[in-house]
Structure formats: structure tokens, C-alpha cells
Amino acid sequence: MSRLISAPFFSAHPVFDRAEYAAAVGRDPSDKVVTAMLAQHLQAGNIKRVARGVFASVPKHADARKWSVDRFLAASRLRRGAVIAYHSALELHGSAYTEGYEVQVIAPGEPGVLEAAGFSCRFIKPRRGFARRDGDLKDGVMVVDRMGLDVRVTTVERTIADLFDRYELAGGTEELFNSLDLVARVDAAALVRHMRALGNAAAAGALGYWLEREQSRLGVPETALKALHAIAPRQARYALGAKPGEGRTAKGWNVILPVDVVERRFEGL
């Protein structure tokens, strides 16, 4: 009987949390009957646990022990209000040079890493511009369909700005610039807007250097470069992990970048 009641819900919810399941079967989330029903489905292999209180539906005839959960969809359900971001957003947008095991999520609550079924999830504290009312998407966040469910992810432009701000979350400068080569188009005005909101002058200078270098390929207008010049450092500053004595100056942008970035030594460049 439990399978008959739950089957339609499992079909429509490849990933779900306890509260969603409880609502579907007409129970309070704290009801012990919900615990018993979930335990029954776990034992039967109808579902598998992703993390505490979050589950994935297992397709009929699939082996729950071998079934791979969609890590982006699962990570988006680990905390309310989660937004897939940084390198993970590049992956969702098809612009990541390599795939990662870790899924990076901007979400309310304490930052940290959670080991889940088949992936790890890094929770990152929201920066200015991500505070939002429930259900109200802010500038720089969009919704994509993932197995029939909505997943929030930063836009390409917000993702790029965020990664210049925190390049280490791209997996380093080599992965960042190899991935940027895969970006086919950008809204330069949106890039400037997001970088201005972040308030990181060194990152703005590094972003401006990259946009100027890719100006022809991406069709970047002069107005965008001028706007970034206005928020770039007034005096030379190190950016993207460049170390004293080992960097190269990005001409015209008042930033000192790693030698590999300026001399384009990476595999994909």
C-alpha cells in the first residue's frame, strides 16, 4: 500500500526532502509514520538517502546501490534557498574545462562541506546581492530545469564575476582561464554591474584585463571596459593569487597577475 501511495510522488520528484514527502502522503513531517514509510522504501530500494532528510527516487528495475543521483539537483535540495554557483555553475552552463566532485552552493546558514551520496557539497555564505525574499530571484540568479525540477543557478555573468572575486573556487587560475575560453558570449554590462556590487577592485582589474583580451571574440563594447577601468585599483595590486616577485603586470589595469595568466601558458589557451 505504501508503494501505491508513494509511487506517483517518486515519479515526479527525482530528489525530495522529508517535508515534501510528508505533505504528499498527508502527514506532518515529524510523524513517526513518515519515518516508517521512508525506512520501508529505503529497504525496498525504491529510494536512496542523499543526506540527512534528503532522498533520491530510484527508477524501477534500477539498483539503488549503484544508482547515481544527479548531484546538482541533489545539492540544490540540501538547504532551502540554495543557488548553484562558482565552478559548479560553470559546469551547469557547459563552460567548465573539467568536472568536479564537489558542488558549490550559495545558501543561508553556516559555511562548510557536507559529504553526500556520490558528491560533496560546499556551502558558501551569501555575498551582498544574494539576500532575497523567499521565491524572489535577485539579479544574477536564474532557474534551469533539471530532471523536471527547478534548480537555481547563478547566471554566466554573475558566475564569472564571482570567480574573479574568489578564483580559488574555480580550482585555480588554470582551470578558470581554460574554462573562460569555453564561454561563447557574455552580457558585458551585467558583468560590470555584478563586479561593481562585489566591490573588489583587484578582481575588477583582472576581469577588465580578460575582457579586453577577448574583446573581439566576445564583442565587448568600449563602454564596459571604461566602466571597469573606473573601479579597477588606482595603484598596482596583486590579483588571482599572484605572489610578490613572481607576477606580471596587466598593462593598463593596475593589477599584477600570475605569469601563466599573462603569458597564456595553460593547456587550453
- Confidence (pLDDT) at 265: 63
Q: How far apart are CA 186 and CA 165, in angstroms?
A: 17
> Is there a single domain that holds both residue 39 and residue 120?
no
Element (H, E) at 249: strand 247-250
In a domain, 207, yes or no: yes
- Confidence (pLDDT) at 1: 44
Q: What are phi and psi of 195, to 5 degrees?
A: -65, -35
> Is there a single domain that holds both residue 100 and residue 33?
no
Taking residues 186-207, what's their average pLDDT?
A: 95
> Is there a single domain that holds both residue 45 and residue 123?
no
In a domain, 132, yes or no: yes
Residue 65: pLDDT band by 50, 70, 90 thresholds?
confident
In a domain, 65, yes or no: no
- Confidence (pLDDT) at 135: 46
> Is there a single domain that holds both residue 128 and residue 175?
no
Q: How far apart are CA 93 and CA 159, in angstroms?
A: 10
In a domain, 146, yes or no: yes
Q: pTM for this structure?
A: 0.89
pLDDT averaged over every residue in the chain: 90
CB 11 within 8 Å of CB 57:
yes
In a domain, 160, yes or no: no
* Domain extent for 79: 70-154
Taking residues 230-237, what's their average pLDDT?
A: 94
In a domain, 8, yes or no: yes
> Is there a single domain that holds both residue 234 and residue 178?
yes
pLDDT tens readout for residues 120-179: 999 999 876 554 544 455 779 999 999 989 999 999 999 999 999 999 999 999 999 999
